[in-house]
Every structure is written in C-alpha cells, then in structure tokens.
Chain A
Amino acid sequence: MARLINRIRLGRGLVLLLCGVYFAVPLASSVYFSIDDNKGGTTFRAYTDLLNAPGFTDSLVLSLELAGVTVAVLLLLLVPAMLAARLGAPRLRPVIEVMCSMPLVVPVVALTTGIIGVLRWGPDYLQDTPLFQTIVAIQDPTFPIVLVVAYVLMALPFAYRALDAGLRGVDVATLVEAARNCGAGWLRAVFTVVLPNLRSALLNAAVLTVALVLGEFTTASILGFAPFSVWINSNGKSDGQMSVAVSMLSLLIVWVVLLLMSAVGRGRKAARS
C-alpha cells in the first residue's frame, strides 16, 4: 500500500512537472524576448516606447470605449429580461436560455459572414431608403456600432451564465415581495434590493465581457476596424518585440483582475455566513 501511494505521488509529480514546463516556458521566454536586446543585455525599450507607438492610444481608447458601451448595452438588455423571467413570466425562461446559448453554436467567423451579408444589403437593395443611411452610420470607423452588436451577441452566453449563477443564489421573488410589502415601488425594489444582492454577479458578467471585447480580433479584423487586438497584430509585423510586450501586459492585467474578482467574491461570501 505504501509503495502504491508512493507511485501515485511520483506519477502526480511527473504530470505536474511536464505540464508546468509546457505552460511556464512560453511565458518565461516571451518575457525574456520582450526585454532581450540581442546583445546579451536587457532593455525595457519595448515597454517604455509603448505610449509613443503610432496608433497605440487610438486603438486602446477605441477598444475601451467599445468595451464600456458593450457592457452597458448587454446589462441593460439582459438584466430586465432575466428579472422578468424570474418574477413575472416564468415561461420566458427557456426562451431566454435558448436565445443566450445560440451564439455559442455559431462560430464567430460564421456570425461575421452573416453580418457582412446584412451590411451588403445596403448598397445592393436599400440604396434609396433611409435604412441605407443607418447601415452607413453603424459602420462609422470612429465608433463602429456594428461591432457593439456583434460583441453583445458574443458575450451573451457568458454574461447569461454569470447572472444566472448569481440569481440562483438569491431568492429574487421573496426579496421583491418583502420590499413591496414594506411599501417600495417596483423600481425601488429592483434598484435598492435586488441589484445590490446581484452585485458580484453583475461584476462577473461585466469583467468577462470586457475581457472578451479587449481580446476580440476576428470580427474587427474581417470588418476592417482597428481596435486594440488588430493593432497588436499589425504592429507585430513591424515591431515584434513591442507586440510581445503588449501581449504579456494584457495577460497580466486579465490575471490580476480575475484574482481580484475571486478575492472579492470570497470576501463577500465569508462576510455573509
């Protein structure tokens, strides 16, 4: 038995070691690559020059704007619908669930082909109608609304799951009834009682969405817009070192945010129990 346990330990150590090497080596060598000056020394040029790189701030700002608007639109659409399904129309629940899982089935590239197909209707069939102006307006390169639509669709499954998990932990119906019995109106019940209880779920959904939007490349690049990830790609063709540096930074930021989130979630849970 002791030999058996020893062998299990050995096997586990081996598995962890191999996987650790596979996951650590690319990270380490990327960091090294980004500070290697090819003469045996180190330089932080790639990091210090970042702010002056052509297009860096523009694309980052565009991405952040897109992320903000996407989160706002997504929550404004999803939260009322999910609360309604919990409170007044239970028959809506399967509808919303199916709707929110559909974007998972359709690969992003295929969704993008569909969007391009719709956008082509503009010049093809709708030339003389006001819809044509709309189609032109949503493709404004300074703020492409069509990307927001695509991102909201892509984030729908993840945000739905995050919110659903949050709603499961809270008895919304009872909370609202209690609030209404105390004389609160519908809006007040929702805003001062339900939403604060869903804070961590809302935060979760928002962070997932922001991470998705900041990293999204497919739709933006095929439709020809230039948010952050597209900039990393095109800049990498001219300055590989800087692009690797940016990649490492983005990974670090996502990691820190996720760690903070789980810490916050754990703190709240501990405080409640």
Chain B
Amino acid sequence: MTTAPTPVPAPASAAQSGGGAPGPATPASTADAAKATTATAANATAPTTTTSGAKASKASKAPRPGQARTGRGRAWLAALPLLLFFLVGFGLPAVAIAIGAFTTSSDAPDGGGTFTTDNLTNSLQGAYWTALWGSVKLSLLTALIATVVGLPLAQAVATSRFRMFREAVMSASGVLANFGGVPLAFMFVATLGNAGEVTKRFGLTSHGWSLYTFSGLSVVYLYFLVPLMVITVTPALEGLRTQWREAAYNNGATVVQYWRHVALPVLVPSLLGGFVLLFGASFAAYATAEAMVGSSVPLISMQIGDALSGNVLVGQGNLALALGLDMIVVACLVMAVYLPLQRRSAKWLA
C-alpha cells in the first residue's frame, strides 16, 4: 500500500495531517510565506524542513511518508476493537486457567490462592488419567479409521465422471462434517440405540451390541470424521496430475505400484495433516458424547464437565482448570504437528 505508484493525497488524509501540526505552524508560515516556492524546491534535498516547508510540500509530491504514517495510525484504530475484545475474551480465560491450575481453590482449607502443583498431578492420576487416555485412544482410533476410509472414498468421488454427483457429495460432506453435537447423538440413538430402528429390526442387542460403549461412540464419531477427511484430502487428490499416473502406467506400473511409489508419497503430508486435524476434532468433541453416553465412557471432556458442575472433592475446585490445561497441552502438540505438515503439502500441490 505504501509503495502504490499513484499519489493519492486525498482530502481527508491531508486535512488530518494538516490538523496534526497546527501549533508551531502558524508563526513560521506567515513569516516564510514569501519563500514558500523556494522552500518546496529545497525540501527535496534538505530532510530537516521547517514547518512551512512541510506545509508547502503537501501541495507537491512529498507527502507520502506523512500520509503513510497517519494512515497506519488510523488503521491501528480500526483493528483496536478486535484486539481489545480478544484480550478480554480470550486472554482473561487463558490467565484464569494458568493461575487456577497452579493455585489452590477458594474452598480449600487454607483459603485458596497459594501456589501448588497438586491440581496438575491429581489431574494426571486415577480416574482422570484413565479419562485422558480414553480420549486419546478414542481419538487415535477414530482418526485412523476415518483416514483409511476417507481416502478411498474421496478418490472414488474425485475421479467420478458425474459433476453433479461430485458436487452433491462435497456439499453433503460439508454439512455432515459440521453435524456434530446433540442432533448427531439423537440420530444414532434412533438408529442403533437400545430402541433404535436398526437394533430392533436385526436384534443387534442379542449379539452383544450396545451404542453406549467405546466402540459405539467410535461408530458415531466416524459419521462426522469421514466427511471431514473427504473435505480435507480432496484438494490434495485433485492436485495429483493425470500425467503422473499416465507416465507410471506407460512405464508398466500396476495400480498398486502407482499408488505405492507415486501417489501416496505425494499425499502423505496431506494425509497426516488430515489425520491430526481429525484427532483434534474428535479429542475436543463434547456434545455428542454428553448427550449419548453421559459419563459411562471415560473421556476427558466429560470429566471436565463433571468437575465444573462441582462434582469433585472439597478443595479440588481448581482441578477442572488443571484438566483444561492438560487438554490445551495435547491440542497444542497436535497443532505443532499439523502446521508444518500443512505447509509441506501446500508446497507439493501448488
């Protein structure tokens, strides 16, 4: 913007910068008014200008730096509400977690507020550790299955001959990938729950099926994870050039060899990135599990919900904050893996 070739000393900005230096300008400008034209010429060579020189130069081409400075000042102002909102809305909770996780809670015997690491150690022990591990296990499993299922599905859709079909599947994926939460839980309760249509029709309960278990929850999570994978990996699949495949086949490669040696190596960063994204989505999910299984499957997000509703021992009120911190740490690790991967795949598929 500052290097834009056309000089646009628009009326508004000129008025603003003129208004910025009214104090010292008045005495000098009257005295030097006669020399104004020569001052303009001298301006170009002498950087230390008098105020009248600065004023006169406004008429010529010199106002660029001044204008850029005022423009930037205003630009900061336009972004200020967002910055303030973010500091209050996001900064305060972050501070609350950081402080709360390392101090005793207000219902503790000592009145609270003293430094301790008990919250963190407790949050990594016993039932909470089981829940954290359960969450990680569930997320790993579902992300893995969704990646393995999503890739062939995306490939089948991306190479389809019917444009309408491709677009329909992509828009359906967009809807289903965001279809987490309570409605999803109810849909599966109606389908595979104890009184669900499919369960009743095929008598699945007698075969030992129950939706309200680890595997049942996995089946439900896949319903939004697979579409998410399809969305994530389709751009990468479309980036695979037809020439690469033709070249491989012309050299006598089989389908398997083409995928093993050409396609998959190119796709690996995208696939890993997608896997990590799915892991994060499934790790953070709360509503579906809460509406469906309550706390019969130990998950860290359920435990936090429980702890926040006061369902902890006296004096451990800050445990929930420590659990939240655990969760953020895992999510940060996930992002630390995801971002470099995404950059790598972007390089290949540009």
Contacts and interface: CB of A to CB of B under 8 A. Distances in A.
Contact of B291 (A149, A212, A217): A217
A16 B284 CA distance: 29
A262 B324 CA distance: 37
A112 interface: yes
A76 interface: yes
Nearest to A121: B96
Contacts of B86: 99, 153
Nearest to B254: A4
Contacts of B25: none
Interface residues of B, number: 90
Nearest to B80: A81
Contact of A19 (B4, B85, B94, B226): B226
A118 interface: yes
Given A15-B152, A117-B93, A153-B90, A215 B187 contact: no
Given A107-B284, A118-B93, A153-B89, A221 B82 contact: no
A44 interface: no
Interface stretch (B45-53, B54-62, B188-196, B267-275): B188-196
Given A33-B191, A114-B97, A262-B171, A88 B75 contact: yes
A85 B83 CA distance: 13
Nearest to B336: A105
Contact of B76 (A89, A180, A259): A89
Chain A residues touching B, range: 35 or more
Nearest to A208: B178
A168 interface: no
Contacts of B186: 30, 232, 236, 240, 243-244, 247
Interface stretch (B35-43, B231-239, B326-334): B326-334
A233 interface: yes
Given A36-B197, A109-B327, A113-B97, A218 B72 contact: no
8 contacts: A88-B72, A89-B79, A111-B90, A121-B96, A181-B6, A222-B305, A254-B179, A262-B171
Closest 6 A-B residue pairs measured CB to CB?
A: A114-B93, A88-B75, A117-B96, A247-B183, A107-B284, A113-B324
